[in-house]
Amino acid sequence: MQPPGADVVVVRHGEIGTKSNHVGTKMERQLRENLASMLADRGVDGEVEQRRLRLLVHTDDPEGATAAAADTFGVVSASPASRVEPTLDAIAEGLREAAREHYDGGTFAVSARRAGEESAHPFASTDIEREGGSAVWEAAEAAGIEPEVDLDDPDTEFFVDCRAEEAFLFLEKRSGPGGLPLGTQDPMIALMSGGIDSPVAAWEVMKRGVPVIPLYVALGDYGGVDNRARAVSTTETLAGYAPDRDVRLRIAPGGDAVADIADAVEVGRMLVLRRFMFMVAEAVAEARGAVGIVTGESIGQKSSQTSANLAVTSAAVDLPVHRPLVTVDKTDITHRADDIGTFHESTIPAGCDRLAPEYPETRARLADIEEREPDDLRERARAVAAAVEPVAESAAVDPEEGETA
């Protein structure tokens, strides 16, 4: 919802404000660049201007720019806004116009902030709220609407942000993801299975500024072609949040190694398989300068994810394994996937349970697993990592061909 004459979007960030000057300035610059590429990616014309503790997007498409900002990591909220002279009269007139267009009954409130030097304005924010409130009231009555004020939970809220040079009027604060601008941290490998969890986990670290290198370990005969297709398409959705980065899914051809593991290991097979995946991820990380591995694991979600087994799988690698969803329930993960836009694709049915033995291990001991796993596991993982290739952009997977491994 935007006031008449809206030609800017006010974009607010959060945690950057808590940083030292040096770090904060760098992060703000990154945010500005990321927002500009998000606008460009969506074909929204807009000029991003850096202001103190916020950005302004000058645009003739405030709705498009607001939507783009709301998908940009580091953005706390965005408001399509109009600008008027920072005087009580001009603000009241602006609110009157906004009320004519957007207030059609129910309760309303005017919430004002006044920033800048004490001496910049001869009035207080409460004056704006009082005068502005009367203006909305009168406009409503003139239109035959019976106005009602509710300061706590209004149906329609008119915001005024009065600065030294100008006042911004807006009707909504659309929430962004929050977090930090993408690219302000070193990269990590995101293990993508194409299921519901892994894209959400990757998104969570991206939200904290971490660029991800998405990696799918192809399971050969054990992985349905749909598995890979899901991983490709959920990764494409993630890429939409990082338009100027290479977020193509990397495919590690693990089929032969996985088949050998399945033949050689019965008890603890899933754990050995997970350890193998981590080893592949670690080798890819080494080659790409990535500093961690991200998975969608959550305590107790599967037998390989009991607290004991998470310890056994983590021990396969020196790199830290980050599990942003470790305490998140499946229903909540599902909601997040829905919000992010990866839920639908991750529910394409895929038969991936053939690998699991009938009685999976829930409390493995590291020493036992190490003894059971093939001696050359790490070597094989390195070889598989060396053969990793990015999937072609928007590669459609041919169901007839099956998964290449």
* Residue 105 labeled ligand binder: no
CB 54 within 8 A of CB 24: no
- The entry of ligand ATP, Mg ion, none that residue 216 binds, CB within 5 to 8 Å by partner kind: ligand ATP
Enumerate residues 172-231 that contact ligand ATP by CB under 6 A: 191-193, 195-198, 215-217, 219
Provide the residue type at 100 as one letter.
R
Q: How far is the CB of 213 from ligand ATP (least distance, A)?
A: 12
- Closer residue to ligand ATP (CB): 74 or 255: 255
Judged by CB under 6 A, the number of residues near ligand ATP is 17
Question: Which H or E run contains 97?
Answer: helix 88-102
Cα torsion angle, 206, 282, 259, 330, sign? negative
Confirm or reject binding of residue 345 to Mg ion (CB under 5 A). no
Confirm or reject binding of residue 249 to ligand ATP (CB under 6 A). no
* Closest alpha carbon to 144 in 110, 91, 100, 95: 100
Q: How far is the CB of 264 from ligand ATP (least distance, A)?
A: 19
The residue count for the chain: 405
- Write each residue from 263 to 302 as x if it is in contact with ligand ATP (CB under 6 A), else as -, in one continuous string: --------------x-----------------xxx---xx
Name every residue whose Cβ is closer than 8 Å to that of residue 133 and which is 6 or more positions away in sequence: 109, 110, 149
Enumerate residues 195-254 that contact Mg ion by CB under 5 A: 197
First to last CA, the chain: 50
- Write each residue from 166 to 205 as x if it is in contact with Mg ion (CB under 5 A), else as -, in one continuous string: -------------------------------x--------
* Residue 133 labeled ligand binder: no
Question: Pairing relation of β-strands 174-175 and 75-84?
Answer: antiparallel
- HSE on the CB side for 2, CA within 13 Å? 22
- The entry of Mg ion, ligand ATP, none that residue 316 binds, CB within 5 to 8 Å by partner kind: none
Token reading at 144: 């035959």
C-alpha distances out from residue 219 to 98, 169, 375, Å:
58, 55, 20
Q: Which residues bind ligand ATP (CB under 6 A)?
A: 191-193, 195-198, 215-217, 219, 277, 295-297, 301-302
Q: Which residues bind Mg ion (CB under 5 A)?
A: 197
- Binding site for ATP, by residue number, is 191-192, 274, 296, 305
